[in-house]
Structure 1
Amino acid sequence: MRIDLHAHTSRSDGTDSPVELIQAASAAGLDVVALTDHDTFIGWDEARAEAERLRVGLIVGAEISCRFGHMGVHLLAYLPDPTDPTLQNELERVREGRNARVPLILERLAALGVNLTLEDVAAESVEATSLGRPHIADALVARGYVASRKEAFDRWLAEGKPGYITRYAPDPESTIRFVIEAGGVPVLAHPWGRGSRSVLTPSVLADFAALGLAGVEVDHHDHDPATREALRSLTSSLGLIATGSSDYHGAGKTDHDLGSCTTSPEQFERLLEVAAKNSEASDRSAATPYLP
């Protein structure tokens, strides 16, 4: 059984539509895929209809942008109630923060001689629920300033680079609580990649586990083999679920093919058990997985 629990569509910063994601998952031989767009639940219904047509298992969720210390960290929220008002309000604040900083980034880039317009960025994000740095990166590629999203981030858009501007993001502690109260399952995404290991120490992960964190994304392209081994050991010692995922973005991110990192069936079953428990405890109409 092949299970990939982290994938994006054009509703955030991927390039496939929700329908195309399910088609790609079927072509890749996946039994289960998770739709986890950034800070939005849009696209769930489209994906589910196609999953039922192709009989591909589907877990719906979102990847929520948080901030801890001086670093951005991400929390995967699986199967929450999408109508939960607290969670909805937080995601709206995050999306508004994304949109608000785009013109500020463009001003900073212009001062560096890199000229883009809001129209240029919007043209690269037709279906997205908010604008963001990946869409600015795509506009930079389209205008010939760089050859890829990665180059755009490496030169201008990543934290610490000349074009970076911070924005609103909730702390992971409150976000873990919001997700659980919405009947969902909180799992830390790629916690020891992209520099976040400096703030997500073993003691911090233990604190998060005490708050209800259910799992950690261990097998991910941002984690080298030694990091995966250390993180898997820590996750096991804390009694957390160890997931694996491609973090697929379609053409938006290379070397993240669907199924390139996967979750074991045993760990997946544990996640479903937590989902059932949190849904019952919260008394929310949490999302249900589609498992043919």
Structure 2
Amino acid sequence: MIDLHTHSRASDGTDQPAQVLEAAAAAGVRVVALTDHDTTAGWAQAAAAVPRTGVALVRGTEISTRASTPAGGMSVHLLSYLHDPDDVVLRAACDRTRDDRLSRARRMAELLGEDFPVTWDDVVAQTGDDATVGRPHLADALVVAGVVATRDEAFATMLHPGARYYVPHYAPATADTVRAVLAAGGVPVVAHPGAGGRGRTLTDDDVAALAAAGLVGLEVDHRDHDAAARDRLRGLAHELDLLVTGSSDYHGTGKLNRIGEHTTSPEVLAQIEERGTLDVVRP
């Protein structure tokens, strides 16, 4: 089994990077991609766990971007696989996003603190060392404070984009980021492109425009896609000659997603590795 989308405490997962590989091994997953938000901080620890766990590692990042479409702007998460982590342009884009996420999280904590018993220190206590700070850490602080029972409840209420506590953050343009990933020797794949529960989604024309910019694939098999969305995206990928991936979007105990619940074919992984600058780290 090949799972190409997971998160660790380097961003908003609850497992350490090595523990993600341990969880993969326990679930029978033989290849896993670590794709923390806007960072490569977990790569080294995960790679060191490969010989012990017997799980191969695809090094990746989930990059926060924003697409400008005829219907308006929207958040788009772009998975980048096997890129050069020292590429100046891509690294600068991720660093700027991480910095803005931090100031955004501080402001949201201040707004939440006006109505709930939550402080910035409470949020920091839920964040791993050098982690990309995000709404999940705010959600965890709300859970610890007894304001909500789960992350999901926090996201559905006070952390929802329509809530007064929500603050947007900087994100580079999606098409520009696709080109930057390619220039860094990476393989760009749109994460959960049909996840309507997260907000507006890309239209077929939007995806076609990204394909023209060099997009390589779509994450089709994902828990946030119903059968109709998967059928549509699979057909679109075929039409645009894009790779089709499947992934869990595992966050440890931070989400219900189970590692290995959706997977990618060995043939697609081979094409990703052929296109990428880095090799898959194998036992």
The TM-score normalised by the length of structure 2 is 0.95
Q: Is the 8 A contact 2:90 2:181 kept in 1?
A: yes
In structure 1, the partner of 2:136 is 134
TM alignment of 1:60-99, pairs within 5 A: 60-69=59-68, 70-99=73-102
Question: For 1:8 and 1:128, how far apart are their aligned partners in 2?
Answer: 14
Deviation at 1:210, TM superposition (A): 1.2
In structure 2, the partner of 1:215 is 217
Q: Is the 8 A contact 1:219 1:243 kept in 2?
A: yes
In structure 2, the partner of 1:164 is 166
2:111 to 108, 112, 127: 108
Percent identical among aligned pairs is 48
Q: Is the 8 A contact 1:177 1:211 kept in 2?
A: yes
Deviation at 1:195, TM superposition (A): 5.2
Confirm or deny that 1:269 pairs with 2:270.
yes
Q: Is the 8 A contact 1:82 1:287 kept in 2?
A: no
Deviation at 1:128, TM superposition (A): 4.3
> When the two structures are aligned, how many residues end up with a matched partner?
279
TM alignment of 1:1-292, pairs within 5 A: 2-69=1-68, 70-111=73-114, 113-194=115-196, 198-254=200-256, 256-275=257-276, 286-292=277-283
Deviation at 1:196, TM superposition (A): 6.7
Q: Which runs of 5+ in 2 are unaligned?
A: none
Question: For 1:72 and 1:211, how far apart are their aligned partners in 2?
Answer: 17
| SS of corresponding position for 2:5 | strand
| SS of corresponding position for 1:74 | strand
Deviation at 1:198, TM superposition (A): 4.0
| SS of corresponding position for 2:248 | coil
Deviation at 1:53, TM superposition (A): 2.3
Structure 1 segments of 4 or more deviating over 6 A? none
Q: What is the letter of the counterpart of residue 9 of structure 1?
A: S
Deviation at 1:121, TM superposition (A): 0.3
Question: For 1:73 and 1:35, how far apart are their aligned partners in 2?
Answer: 18
Q: Which runs of 5+ in 1 are unaligned?
A: 276-285
After the TM superposition, which of the residue ranges 75-84 and 65-74 deviates more from structure 2?
A: 65-74
Question: For 2:99 and 2:123, how far apart are their aligned partners in 1?
Answer: 16
| SS of corresponding position for 1:166 | coil
Question: For 2:146 and 2:130, how far apart are their aligned partners in 1?
Answer: 22
Q: What is the letter of the counterpart of residue 108 of structure 1?
A: L
Q: Deviations over 1:211-270 (max 9, x none)?
A: 11000000001100111011101111110000000000000001x101001011222222
Q: What is the letter of the counterpart of residue 279 of structure 2?
A: T
Gap change, CA 1:221 and 1:128, over 3 Å in 2: farther
Gap change, CA 1:252 and 1:92, over 3 Å in 2: same
RMSD over aligned Cα atoms: 1.4
Q: Is the 8 A contact 1:13 1:128 kept in 2?
A: no
Question: For 1:135 and 1:183, how far apart are their aligned partners in 2?
Answer: 31
Question: For 1:234 and 1:197, how far apart are their aligned partners in 2?
Answer: 20
| SS of corresponding position for 1:100 | helix
The TM-score normalised by the length of structure 1 is 0.92
